[in-house]
Amino acid sequence: MLEIERLTPHIGAYVRNVDLARCSQSDFDQVYQAFLNHQVIFVDQQNLSPSEHLLLAERFGQLEPVHPFFPNVKSHPQICIIETTRGNQPLESIWHTDLTWRKTPSKCSLLHAQHVPSVGGDTIWCSMTAVFDSLEPDLQQQLRDMSAIHSLTAFENIEEHDVTLDWQKKVIETSQKYPPVTHPMVHVHPETQKETLFINEQFTRQIENMSPDSSQKLLDQLFAHARRPEFQVRLKWKKGTLAIWDNRVTQHYAVIDYKDTPRKLHRVTVSDSTPN
């Protein structure tokens, strides 16, 4: 029988005793409700082929197009490859919500571990719903009337001669195609109707209609608040673990404490808000 184990008061749950590649509609409905309730869910021992990974993701909604700069599985290009290899340590990690530099960010992601270090390489998620709920009512009301500018400028401080990998060059090319976008700082979740603080350290640049100094001061205050551990859940990966998170209400952070120990995960991203 399918079991759901809540991990923290605000975010995260393990889903057990289910084979997601072959689960019934009834079991999937429970998994989907756990995804909404807990914002990120973890399922161990999932032996997913690339085709099964895509079919499962389609049950959550419409698949995103091929990612503009991440490497992908050649036979299934909508599956991104997130990989560390010997001699190539991962880049600095920054708290982020996926694709907020686009007008329509993604709905959710399904990240499947192919092989992982025996020690290190964890991922941490933060509930931005819990962060918003914890703020003082006056600040909450202030934020409801604000919008912030998001942009893809992850390599803005890197010299051109330091950009050597193809995907890094594609990041720069993509950033030139996507001008900055504006998002409300408080979103209402389309399915749960809960309010969430919609900012992240990697892509949120400035609050509209505020001076740069005032904007940065408020953003820094909110980012620091979101880093409090009571709003977070941490996953130690195993081969075959699948993490599914609601990108509309979370940030995540990859812990890069494993140097160049090989690590490989497959990610599929979903855009449409309607599950199948």
- Choice among 67, 98, 183, 187 that is catalytic: 98
Active site includes 98? yes
CB 244 within 8 A of CB 41: yes
Taking each helix axis from N to C terminus, what angle separates 25-38 and 50-60, rounded to the nearest 10 degrees?
70
What is the end-to-end Cα distance of the chain in Å, rounded? 22
Q: Residue 95: how many CA atoms within 13 Å on its side-chain side?
A: 21
Neighbours of 125 (CB within 10 A): 26
Lookup result for tokens 């869910």: 41
Q: State both tokens at 172.
A: 């720069």
- Choice among 96, 183, 187, 266 that is catalytic: 96
Helix (H) or strand (E) holding 26: helix 25-38
- Choice among 67, 150, 205, 252 that is catalytic: 252
Active site includes 161? no
- Choice among 102, 112, 248, 267 that is catalytic: 267
254 forms beta bridges with 123
Active site includes 272? no
Active site includes 6? no
Catalytic center residues: 96, 98, 252, 267
